Chain A
């Protein structure tokens, strides 16, 4: 799990922080609860407070347009938060980051066509309704292919048009191409 902001990276590494929380010293630092305390209490408020504090610029900074990256939101459900709590969290973040600070939020969620995880599907559907841009990444319907690993569907809210690209992942980057135009075919 990570959060970041532009021009200055605030990185919350969930895996590391949860270890500090569970196995660290008993005293809390300066009375500030850990952002991951929802693992014990199922309450995401501390996480939101962390986001708000990290992204609100101090008077001396001239940051413009912070970006909140969340990787990934489905993990919050696995850690005890309810779907409603997760959606509330994102809503509060949207108010602060988008409306107040004129920034952007990018959220990653997992999903499956035949998923039986109803809470996760609820979060995904709700996020889709509230998003300006959706990038839907999936494998090819025909199955595994060495040269084309999958396709990305790109949908903008105000245009209501879906564009589809296919992609191939290499070690350190990804190449995108129009459907049917992969290097292996041409």
Chain B
């Protein structure tokens, strides 16, 4: 005789236990992405870390990729979901190219597409666990936007994800201005990344800076920032602490 365990309806909002296909929490994650508009286009920075919880599992993860001719995508959050997004975008760009009509998707269009994808996944209670930064230039128009895992999106002169919102945005609000030179833009991004390196425990000292202009995009080779740990105030951090 067969005993049937009580079965929950397949289409209930919350889903039965057997619905193990939905994202519950992220596994391998990337931390902040920071980006800003400068004179010739967009500059974006992200480190190369892929954390597995509190373990620094992967140290060469490229979290920024060029999309089509005019855009650059940076992602924080679940790395596997980022890879899936790149797969969707590959298809999008392919179909765009196959029209062969001289037109190509600009950053604004790609950002809109990504927003719709993220929002629709959120509607199905199966989000892509990422915060995305989409920057680019088309026909002289610079564009920089962001979209979160639940579909909240906007564009601005500078954006950041995760800890970058807390640590980098205030610096950018203070020091960003129109028509930054390339050197100034990089210096400003490095300032932000250095603060993140000091204060975000999931940040690593191996980063890339990506640039996109009307001419195209480049992603730098990985490099590290100079840090200073000899501030006297931190020399003997436990001095005077209770129980030390």
A, B: real partners: no
- Point out residues on B near A: beta carbons under 8 Å: none
Q: Which residues of A contact B (CB under 8 A)?
A: none
